[in-house]
Chain A
Amino acid sequence: MSRSTPLRGVHESLGATLTDFAGWQMPLRYGSESAEHNAVRTAAGLFDLSHMGEIFVVGAQAGEALDRALVGHLSVLAPGRARYTMIVNETGGILDDLIVYRLDEDQYMVVANASNYALVARELADRVRGYDARVTDRSDEYALVAVQGPRSAEILTALTDADLDDLKYYAIVPGVVAGTPALIARTGYTGEDGFELFVLNEHAVPLWNALAEAGKDAGLVPAGLSARDTLRLEAGMPLYGNELSAAITPFDAGLGRVVRFDKPGDFVGKAALERAAENGTRRRLVGLVARGRRVPRHGYPVTREGAVVGEVTSGAPSQSLGRPIAMAYVDEGALEKGSLAVDIRGSQEPVDVVDLPFYRRSK
């Protein structure tokens, strides 16, 4: 039985195509996903991300406890700031990728993926034992609405008393948005400027409606998971279940920078990750751009002279590049030699390897 967010009725009244995602009924698209994608690149999009998990870690030693539980150095994070980080198992495999917000000296909010937050909450509770820190999974109480795109600041400014000019990228501030108390974060998953608004469930519908109304003239449109996926892919951002899994370390994913060996003390997975850092990786996560028009998709083999040298993790037609793009794990040796193709249902379609991200917003 799939779960619904507090905004399901709104999505239905907007004529959304709903899809099951990690056990949630979520809007896939409202009309044309390409139009939604382009709106976020040029104006703004409104997203329901209430399926995400919000786990609070509170206590005098909350920071030290998170240093022990996660790969990042969270105790040095300034209040009001956020970090992209990961939780790994003892063998260094990624259990989830996370954004951790430090709300106050003794209060953190860990935002986890829908498919993983129950596991993350259990692991955190287990790992903070012995510290003065308490873990509370408040995912069922919180809705998450995101406004993303170059005009999102202008839209949100009209509805809030919070000073958005002072709110930096990867920062968070409590405020009131359209009469609703919210945690206002300048984070996102689209490659654009934007905000994520954490509110209690009962405030989700009025908040959504106020944002939709306030953004109408600026070109704000509701945007579904299909657009979210192509936006994050263009921005070179990994998706758990595609690029990231428990079989993959942060180093495999090219995200070794999130692992902070320089922080004091031990952390879960440290020994395994030190070995992974030392040994290097056999395969590397790269960007591919197809020369033709057929789309490399999740699970398709990457080939070189007919031999399989890798696998596509995500692929989609790119609005911004006008050609299909993909992320793939490819053998280091094959990358050096070049001339790669993707086996698209039996035919070898040539691709070029490019640096990630595919798309970077102009400042």
Chain B
Amino acid sequence: MSTIPDDLSYTKEHEWVAGIEDGLTVTVGITAYAAEQLGDVVYVEVHSEVGSTVAAGDAVGEVESTKSVSDIFAPVGGEVVEINSAVVDNPSLVNSDPYGEGWLFRVRVEEEPEDLLSAAEYTALTSGES
């Protein structure tokens, strides 16, 4: 059973969003559940550049594991303000510390997110899938 921290918000695409309650800048990553499903992550790319504006649901990058490749989506709309270069250099951080050093990017929120999930809702989603 993978961990699902209570203090984060989640998406159906298995990303987590931190800091949403402040309404300013949020941090985005992929969940421990998604990291386990992917297996060893070997490549992370966020192709939306710092300073660019993204809309909620936009594909902003990709994450590759040994067996598969998946899109990374923007869970909220706004300006990309930071990309985690550490995870680009060392993609295994997604597996080893998905909620910490494995974060992917930060967005200054401009568009109120609508359909984020609570930890309880995300737990229900993943227990249905596994």
Q: Do A34 and B43 touch (CB < 8 A)? A: no
Q: Do B64 and A34 touch (CB < 8 A)? A: no
Q: How far is the CB of B117 from chain A (nearest CB, A)?
A: 24
Given contacts A226-B66, A294-B64, A295-B69, contact A32 B95 (CB under 8 A): yes
Q: Does B40 contact A (CB under 8 A)?
A: yes
Q: Does A85 contact B (CB under 8 A)?
A: no
Q: Which of A33, A297, A345 contacts B40 (CB 8 A)?
A: A33
Q: Do A317 and B39 touch (CB < 8 A)? A: no
Which A residues between 294 and 331 are near B, CB-CB below 8 angstroms?
Answer: 294-295, 297, 316-317
Chain B residues within 8 Å of A230, by CB: 66
Chain B residues within 8 Å of A11, by CB: none
Chain A residues within 8 Å of B119, by CB: none
Q: Does A29 contact B (CB under 8 A)?
A: yes
Chain A residues within 8 Å of B40, by CB: 32-34
- Residue on B nearest A344 in the bound complex, by CB: B69
Given contacts A32-B95, A34-B66, A316-B66, contact A226 B43 (CB under 8 A): no
Per the CB 8 Å criterion, the residue count for chain A at the interface is: 16
Chain A residues within 8 Å of B64, by CB: 294-295, 317
Query: Number of contacts between A and B (CB, 8 Å)?
Result: 38
Q: Do A297 and B69 touch (CB < 8 A)? A: yes
Q: Does A293 contact B (CB under 8 A)?
A: yes
In the bound assembly, the distance between CA atoms of A293 and B45 in angstroms comes to 10
How big is the B interface, by class? Answer: 10 to 19
In the bound assembly, the distance between CA atoms of A33 and B95 in angstroms comes to 12
Q: Do A226 and B95 touch (CB < 8 A)? A: no
Q: Do A317 and B43 touch (CB < 8 A)? A: yes
In the bound assembly, the distance between CA atoms of A28 and B38 in angstroms comes to 11
Chain B residues within 8 Å of A294, by CB: 43, 45, 64
Q: Does B55 contact A (CB under 8 A)?
A: no
Chain B residues within 8 Å of A226, by CB: 39, 66-67
Q: Does B87 contact A (CB under 8 A)?
A: no
Which A residues between 97 and 156 are near B, CB-CB below 8 angstroms?
Answer: none
In the bound assembly, the distance between CA atoms of A293 and B44 in angstroms comes to 9
Q: Does B42 contact A (CB under 8 A)?
A: yes
Q: Do B39 and A33 touch (CB < 8 A)? A: yes
Interface string of B65-76 (1 = CB under 8 A from A): 011010000000
Given contacts A33-B66, A34-B66, A230-B66, contact A295 B42 (CB under 8 A): yes
- Residue on A nearest B96 in the bound complex, by CB: A32
Given contacts A32-B95, A294-B64, contact A317 B42 (CB under 8 A): yes
In the bound assembly, the distance between CA atoms of A297 and B62 in angstroms comes to 14
Chain B residues within 8 Å of A34, by CB: 40, 66
Chain B residues within 8 Å of A316, by CB: 66-67
Q: Do B69 and A29 touch (CB < 8 A)? A: no
In the bound assembly, the distance between CA atoms of A28 and B39 in angstroms comes to 10
Chain B residues within 8 Å of A317, by CB: 42-43, 64, 66
In the bound assembly, the distance between CA atoms of A112 and B95 in angstroms comes to 36
User: Can you offer 19 A-B residue contacts whose CB atoms are under 8 A?
Assistant: A17-B39, A28-B39, A29-B39, A32-B95, A33-B39, A34-B66, A226-B39, A226-B67, A229-B67, A293-B43, A294-B43, A294-B64, A295-B64, A297-B69, A316-B66, A317-B42, A317-B43, A317-B64, A345-B69
When A and B form their complex, which 8 residue pairs have the shortest distance between CB atoms, in order from nearest?
A317-B42, A34-B40, A293-B43, A33-B66, A32-B40, A33-B39, A295-B64, A33-B40
